[in-house]
Amino acid sequence: QVQLVQSGAEMKKPGASVKVSCKSTGYTFNTYGISWVRQAPGQGLDWMGWISAYSDDTKHAQKFRGRVILTTDTSTSTAYMELRSLRFDDTAVYYCARDYRSGSIDYWGQGTLVTVSS
């Protein structure tokens, strides 16, 4: 069965960077892409961007351009999301999700809580 397993919770100071990993199993990794979505405490879902695991294509939400880096390692079926220059309002649960062509999100990871605190 399709599974996406994310790395553990992180606590960072303002201005630092965080890198979250997302390992996929149960499907052929390089035939899909991965979207990243975050959810601030008590809030809704906010799409951050998408990376293809079958081409060199990436898409980013306007508000995250220049601050988020999306990568994949097809040898380990793992996607990564790095968020730089962290601010207090970046505190959220970050999800990866399988997404064929951006906008076709189906299976989700369990989420990674990132807390930004001084």
Residues forming contacts to other proteins in the complex (CB under 8 A) are 35, 37, 44-47, 50, 59, 61-62, 95, 97, 99, 102-111
Tally Cβ neighbours within 10 Å of residue 42: 5
CB of 21 to other proteins, least distance (A): 16
Q: How far is the CB of 111 from other proteins (least distance, A)?
A: 5
For residue 27, the minimal CB distance to other proteins (Å) is 14
70's CB contacts (< 8 A; 6+ apart) are: 34, 36, 49, 50, 51, 58, 60, 79, 80, 81, 82
Amino acid type, 101? R
By C-beta, is 90 or 99 nearer to other proteins?
99
